[in-house]
Amino acid sequence: MRDMLSKPRVPSMVEPDAFVVGETVAITKGAVVLQTSMFELIQYTPQTAKVRSIPLLMVPPVINKFYIMDIAPGRSMIEYFLQQGQQVFAISWRNPQARHRDWGFDAYGGAIVEAMDAVQNIAGTDSVHLMASCSGGIIAAMTAAHLAHIGEADRVAGLTLAVTVLDETRAGFAAAAMSDRAAQTAIRVSARKGYLDGRDMAEMFAWLRPTDLVWRYWVNNYVQGRKPAAFDVLFWNADTTRMAAALHRDMVLMGLRNALVTPGAVTMLGSPVDLADITSDAYVIGGVADHISPWQATYRSARLLGSKDNRYVLSTSGHIAALVNPPGNPKASFRTGLVGAEKPEEWLESAQQSAGSWWPDYVSWLAERSGPEVDAPKRLAGKACHRSGRRRAPM
């Protein structure tokens, strides 16, 4: 009864107290070095004596909490990158309320630029790597195009897009089911409230995989009377955030028009967005079983970017498990190849298959584009928190 009385109205996939942010998830050491009205910027404590000079700025989805990138020891991307000598920073988005209804593309793009300014200032570099996921990847790509348009393309040392759809052509059931009438209704609803409730999105995403995410837990919780297993990724998935009404509007309208495939059809910070202007190399990741961002759509998206040396990586598993895929899993594998073939299926035929996780491949790719090694900073730019997860953007 509890599950049906509150959103999302699906069986619970995890107990709400199964984990504690900053204690059992998101525990990699770091410090909040910048706090604005929209985000906190976390600098993570280096774990090697030498670090690569060009830092990595991680941009999470705008509809989820940042800590999927730091989910748990041994399975944390951030922890692994630090262990390999990478300087790592991450954005933690504020959970918007009704008074933030006007935060749209420009507000979030401006926030990424502000975070880049801070990272460059702290690290003493002229450029940063951007690694962005899902909806965060859309905004990061648009921001990179804006920087290229104003003559600052070299500020982006490399662009990594994880499970990000820029080309909405045949982009899955959710995109196909969204008619213009339904879209306008959804926009009006979020405009009245000032935001789109993350729990509504969680319910929709659950019904995209009803066998695994609804009926499995219906049987476990209600028929068998068991508590769901404690799984950190599902805890993160249930820890939803809201989406500001303006961003919801911008995302929906852009998706309906598939605007990013047409140069200049949408703007970012006053610049017409042409993804072909992004000439820094890109590393683009898809999940072979992704039900939210189909891998074929993420591959087509990679073809919109301007560099001739873009690398596409197809990971095993679905939307999140394709990313939270640390070394050591004997069942894991991935395929790699340059982005070139017009059709995803053609790329797949010639792609190289490798056993294991894609994380080491990515670290090698980053290292080639991250400058010489330098001494790790002896102290962070701000007052360090013992665990970064204890400091999150205010609700």
Query: Which residues are known catalytic residues?
Result: 134
**Bridge partners of residue 374, in order along the sequence:** 51
Residue 321 contacts residue 238 (beta carbons within 8 Å): no
| Tokens encoding 211 | 């066998």
| Tokens encoding 151 | 């003559």
* Torsion, CA 23, CA 321, CA 42, CA 361, rounded to 10: 130
Instruction: Give start and end residues of each alpha helix (H) in the chain.
Output: 2-5, 77-83, 105-123, 134-149, 173-176, 180-193, 198-208, 210, 216-218, 232-238, 245-257, 295-302, 344-350, 359-368
Pairing of strands 50-52, 373-375: antiparallel
**At 90, which helix (H) or strand (E)?**
strand 88-93
- Taking CA atoms, 98 is separated from 6, 15, 246, 388, in Å, by 20, 28, 11, 27
